[in-house]
Amino acid sequence: LAAPSPLGLPVYSASGFDLLSILARVATRPHPRVVLGPVDLTCSFVVVDVRRHDQPIVYCSPSFCRLTGYEENEILGRNCRFLQAPGGLVHKGDVRTLTSHEAVVHLKKSLTADKECQTSIVNYRKDGTAFINLVTVIPILGGVGGGVGEEAEVVYHVGFQVDLTEQPNAILEKLRDGSYLVDYSNQGVVSGFGAMAGMMQHGGRERKTNAIPQPKMAKELRKMLANSRFLRSIPITTSTTVPTPLSSASTSTTASGASAEEGPSANGGNQPLHLLLLEASPDFVHVVSLKGSFLYVAPSVRRVLGYEPEEMVGKSIADFTHPEDVVPLMRELKESSATGMSATGGEGGQAVGGPMQAAPRTVDLLFRARTREGAYVWVECCGRLHVEPGKGRKAIVLSGRAKEMPRMSWEAVGMAGGLARSVKMPSGEESQGEVAEVEREFWGTMSGEGKGRGMLTFLSVGAGVRDVLGWTAQELVGRGVAGIVLDAGLEEEVARISRSNDPRKVHCRMRRKDGSAAEVVLVLYRPIHDPLVRQSTKVMESISPAPLIYQVKLADASSMPTTSHHTTIPAQLTNSPTANIFEELEISRGSSWQYELEKLKFTNQRLMDEIAALE
């Protein structure tokens, strides 16, 4: 029986759009070029009508609204290009400056020919924050309703979107609570993210026999890797730098000059692209035992520390570490052998299909390493514990990068107006006369490599942001500055400060969490290089530059009392104007940063006790 439909209007669909028919044609389309994998109603997608002028969006899923921050009535009728800039002001035919113009051209070229395509592109939410969007567009055959005579007609394009930062976290959460389902009946061809699911479906014994899949790459790069002349132009390390059996699967580098078609068999199990990355990456991949011995070191260590891989393999990481950092570093390596609970089932539970598998913990190291020239540099290593399947042998796989620690004088702070004085206010309606100290400023770091305001990102945020803007530090870290700073002009100041050591002040408005705007003074500081590091040109070339330091204080905040001849330095500070604010992180410091941190905690607690006693 047909459902009652007065006046012929739809009953179940409030939008009047036959979405089920569209998605059915997506799932049953012949000869798919892009494997979508599982698709459910949590997916973010839009439907575009290519017959209409400017190809407007005619349907958007609720997940798309949550992903972009726009309401449905702000989306329908617009072309998808509005996501390619903060505020959505993008005109047809304009050269894209805040996202990849090449990716936009690739999408347009494919869709004009009604071909399936997939690319990653930087998009912007309604609040101006940037995110990396994996876009897949599927042209649908069958016309409007899939009727007779419409088989070859394309009316709709369906575009799927996913935030490459958030989606893996969502999947991992479902893996932890056991609610992520794997379709074992779907054993077809997998590509892209499908390869990851395919690897999850195989057991440990089968995993050892499966070769590493061919990496996805652009046609231009594949053509270059197929050119033996190009490969011979880049020297590939031919010595085996892993003497232990742990590395026999994939880490020995034993070939050079192989073409891409020869595959992993000609390279000792490695792809040519992998060997090139290990050779020329700005980071160096290395494997250490739980006792700190180097089991493998990538050739790119030459550009970071100056050593040959053979000089480090077999030696202890302590041999290259600052004496004051050895004890906390070895303690961290020892603690990394501990594993967490299972992803499913909880502690002591059983995973589906076998015994519980403990989740290896991540390992983050920060220490001073000695270069071949004898100078020390800060090295940050990130990785995780690796347990060899079937044998239980453990090692730690890490990626290391030389980092520049910031140096900034108190004189620079005085030139920018000094520190903002905090105020005391009632702590709440139920405070019974109690007062709390409210911050009027917060500090942090931001990326300064982007060409536009949309590419600037908060890297760290001080706790005072809650009092100033209402946000928590965790809510702002990783977000684009364009989503918080409401006025233009910041990018020009970032460009100017790259050419000068003087701080730059910007009077602007910043968005509070409640939606209101706060009048603030944003000060940008450019860190200066460590004089010990500056002496070595090779070391300077291998170090990641320190990020910009920013200070945000309310426009009506009063500064602390200052005393100085030519600059304004807070009187409470006993440091000289030329003293380094970050002296605890100086390379020449005769103690570890862990010790300095504990000492600062004790000093702060003692000061708080003295203030409480005086009050």
The overall average pLDDT reported for the chain is: 77
Radius of gyration for the chain, computed over Cα atoms and rounded to the nearest angstrom: 29
β 548-554/394-403 pair status: unpaired
pLDDT for res 213: 60
Residue 488 DSSP symbol: S
User: Side-chain half-sphere of 476: how many Cα atoms within 13 Å?
Assistant: 30
Helix (H) or strand (E) holding 177: helix 166-177
Which range of residues forms the domain containing residue 128?
19-187+216-233
Domain at 138, CATH number: 3.30.450.20
Q: Same structural domain for residues 92 and 229?
A: yes
Q: Same structural domain for residues 478 and 374?
A: no
Q: Same structural domain for residues 441 and 399?
A: no
Q: Same structural domain for residues 385 and 415?
A: no
Asked if residue 142 is part of any domain, the answer here is yes
pLDDT for res 74: 92
> CB–CB of 125/68 below 8 Å?
yes
Q: Same structural domain for residues 294 and 148?
A: no
pLDDT for res 88: 85
| Averaged pLDDT for residues 179-199 | 40
Asked if residue 592 is part of any domain, the answer here is no
Rounded Cα distance between 96 and 98, Å, is: 6
Rounded Cα distance between 615 and 612, Å, is: 5
pLDDT for res 188: 38
Q: What is the pLDDT of residues 484-536, one digit of tens each?
A: 998 877 777 777 776 677 888 889 999 999 989 999 999 999 887 766 655 55
Residues of the chain with pLDDT > 90, as a percent, come to 24
pLDDT for res 523: 92
> CB–CB of 324/592 below 8 Å?
yes
- One-character DSSP codes across 376-391: EEEEEEEEEEEE-TTT
- Is the pLDDT higher at 377 or at 339? 377
> CB–CB of 534/545 below 8 Å?
no
Residue 348 DSSP symbol: T
Beta bridge partners of 426: 435
Position 563 pLDDT exceeds 50: no
177-181, 494-498, 545-549: segment of lowest average pLDDT: 177-181
For the chain, the domain total comes to 3
Q: Same structural domain for residues 387 and 466?
A: no
- Is the pLDDT higher at 540 or at 267? 540
Q: Same structural domain for residues 315 and 171?
A: no
Amino acid at 27: A
Q: What is the pLDDT of residues 451-468, one digit of tens each?
A: 444 578 899 999 999 999
Q: Same structural domain for residues 379 and 420?
A: no
Asked if residue 387 is part of any domain, the answer here is yes
Asked if residue 451 is part of any domain, the answer here is yes
pLDDT for res 191: 39
| Averaged pLDDT for residues 406-418 | 86
Asked if residue 415 is part of any domain, the answer here is yes
Q: Same structural domain for residues 117 and 82?
A: yes
Asked if residue 248 is part of any domain, the answer here is no
Closest CA to 500 of 479, 525, 483, 518: 525
- 3-class SS letters over 266-300: HHCCCCHHHHHHHHHCCCEEEEECCCCEEEEECCC
Q: Same structural domain for residues 80 and 114?
A: yes
pLDDT for res 605: 92
Phi (first) and psi of residue 501, to 5 degrees: -90, -5
Q: What is the pLDDT of residues 250-300, one digit of tens each?
A: 333 333 333 434 444 445 556 778 888 888 888 899 999 988 999 999 998
Q: Same structural domain for residues 57 and 78?
A: yes
Asked if residue 269 is part of any domain, the answer here is no
| Averaged pLDDT for residues 208-233 | 74
Q: Same structural domain for residues 444 and 509?
A: yes
pLDDT for res 585: 83
Asked if residue 292 is part of any domain, the answer here is yes
